[in-house]
Amino acid sequence: MPKNSNKKLEQQDNSSTEESKQKPTVLKKNKLFSFKKILTFLTILLLLFIVFLTNRKIDGFFVKNYLGLFSDFIFTPVSKIQSTNSRVNILILGKSGEGHVAPDLTDTIMFASISFDNPSIRLISIPRDIWIPEIRAKLNSAYYWGKEKDSDGMFLSKNLVEGILGQPIHYVVVFDFSSFTKIIDVLDGVEVDIERSFIDEKYPIFGKENDLCDGDRLFKCRYEIVTFKQGKQFMDGETALKFVRSRNAQGDEGTDIAREQRQQKIIVAVKNTILSPKTLLNPKKMWGIWNVLKETVETNINEQQGVILARMIIDARKDVKSSVISQDFFINPPISSKYDNQYVFVPKEGNWFEVKNWVKNFFN
């Protein structure tokens, strides 16, 4: 046999030896991945069982409904949820909540779009100060006026945001800031990457909004100084709340756009922490999150839809992008009686055509 043939045989033997060495490693990784997946599913199954056990009698309907929800989580039947062009769009509203001067003003307004065709999530923050001629008020008061008129703040907010973005909204989630802080505390805090250092010397102290401060004309007793330094910081619920609500810092961090970007940072940090194995495989934390949501969140998402959306979010967790509608699309007109003497934004071109195009491009 020629020498070249021997060399080829040796190379083949060596390559098959290498392959045989590598295969067990790959197999081990696949087994580990499958094990983690199965363990995650079993944990969620257990949590769903506990939740429904506390709310329903154990009968045929319960078993059927429970198994149906578990099946929906595993197989994700998108036909059971509302969607448009393989996207589910959710309006997220954050309000001050009870105990504040204006509990139903939604200073956090975000649009979330989940694609199940190519699993991904897109988040868009919407300025709260957009002037809405239909209600002669700013966008952040739409939820309040909807409740006053029809006892349904979600419906009015949904319709108005659809008109601005040019996108259908399938579901609405309204939370107050008490739920926001409680969830972060249940998670034992979240890590946030702060882009710029800033100091806010007029952060309002809860409960002191009307304090006369013993005659102090500057009402200094109503405020505290909050400081955040550039870099990664671990935040509890109270610290995270100050981070997203601060609006009186000097420079760029004192703008509404910066505040909206900070809100997105916290929401993404919460999402990442919840979807981490450390949380998903911790029944105590998952149960705590469920209790907070059950007590403090208003939504038109039912149990079945919630299970399917939860699975879609888990599948899309590695492709999340966020943005803020740029101030370039708006003008800030002089304060006048035309806008009830308020600081407002109105579309630069007199319509929402440019914003709608920007949203389409952001999705693509």
Q: Are residues 214 and 327 in the same domain?
A: yes
Q: Are residues 39 and 123 in the same domain?
A: no
In 3D space, the residue among 288, 91, 55 whose CA is nearest the CA of residue 185 turns out to be 288
Q: Are residues 11 and 147 in the same domain?
A: no
Name the percent of the chain lying above pLDDT 70. 80
Instruction: Report if residue 70 sits inside a domain.
Output: no
Instruction: Report if residue 233 sits inside a domain.
Output: yes
pLDDT (tens digit per residue) in 217-247: 999 999 999 999 999 999 999 999 999 989 8
Tell me if residue 198 falls in helix, strand or coil.
strand
pLDDT (tens digit per residue) in 186-203: 999 999 999 999 999 999
The Cα-based distances of 299 to 6, 136, 156 in angstroms read 72, 26, 14
Instruction: Report if residue 61 sits inside a domain.
Output: no
Q: Are residues 165 and 276 in the same domain?
A: yes
Q: Are residues 49 and 86 in the same domain?
A: no
Q: Are residues 16 and 129 in the same domain?
A: no
Show the tokens assigned to 191.
Answer: 């890590």
Task: Answer yes or no: is pLDDT of 303 > 60.
Answer: yes
Q: What is the mean pLDDT of the chain?
A: 83
pLDDT (tens digit per residue) in 274-293: 888 888 888 888 888 888 88
DSSP state of 335: P
pLDDT value for 19: 43
* Cβ proximity of 295 and 97 under 8 Å: no
Torsion angle of the four alpha carbons 310, 312, 315, 318, in this order, in degrees rounded to the nearest 10: -90
Give the rounded distance of the alpha carbon of 8 from its chain centre. Answer: 58
Is residue 297 classed exposed, middle or buried when 0-12, 13-18 and 19+ CB atoms within 10 A define those classes?
middle
Higher-confidence residue of 163 and 272: namely: 163
Instruction: Report if residue 71 sits inside a domain.
Output: no
Q: Are residues 129 and 16 in the same domain?
A: no
Instruction: Report if residue 66 sits inside a domain.
Output: no
Task: Answer yes or no: is pLDDT of 348 > 90.
Answer: yes
* Cβ proximity of 200 and 226 under 8 Å: yes
Range of the domain at 24: 3-56
pLDDT value for 14: 47
pLDDT value for 47: 52
pLDDT value for 214: 93
Name 237's bridge partners.
Answer: none
Q: Are residues 115 and 13 in the same domain?
A: no
* Cβ proximity of 81 and 170 under 8 Å: yes
Higher-confidence residue of 60 and 322: namely: 322
Q: Are residues 234 and 316 in the same domain?
A: yes
Show the tokens assigned to 88.
Answer: 């589910």
Count, residues in the chain: 364
- DSSP strand pairing (106-115 vs 297-299): unpaired
* Cβ proximity of 105 and 96 under 8 Å: yes
pTM of this prediction? 0.76
Give the rounded distance of the alpha carbon of 183 from its chain centre. Answer: 12
Looking up residue 250, the CATH number of its domain turns out to be 3.40.630.190
Higher-confidence residue of 62 and 327: namely: 327
pLDDT (tens digit per residue) in 62-121: 445 667 777 888 888 999 999 999 999 999 999 977 656 678 999 899 999 999 999 999
Instruction: Report if residue 199 sits inside a domain.
Output: yes
Q: What is the mean pLDDT of residues 246-255?
A: 90
pLDDT value for 66: 64
Show the tokens assigned to 35.
Answer: 């094990």
Q: At what angle do helices 3-53 and 60-75 cross, to 10 degrees?
A: 150
Please, which residues have CB within 8 angstroms of residue 127's CB and are 6 or more apart in sequence? 109, 139, 256, 257, 260, 324, 325, 327, 330, 345
Please, which residues have CB within 8 angstroms of residue 96's CB and are 6 or more apart in sequence? 102, 103, 104, 105, 107, 176, 177
3-state percent breakdown (helix, strand, coil) of the chain, nearest 5 = 50, 20, 25
Instruction: Report if residue 64 sits inside a domain.
Output: no
Comparing 32-41, 172-181, 327-336, which segment has the lowest mean pLDDT? 32-41
pLDDT value for 61: 47
Q: Are residues 21 and 167 in the same domain?
A: no
Q: Are residues 352 and 217 in the same domain?
A: yes
Domain count, the chain: 2
Q: Are residues 48 and 141 in the same domain?
A: no
H or E element at residue 232: strand 231-235
What is the secondary structure of 251-285 as a DSSP string? GGGGSHHHHHHHHHHHHHHHHHHHTSHHHHT-HHH
pLDDT value for 11: 46
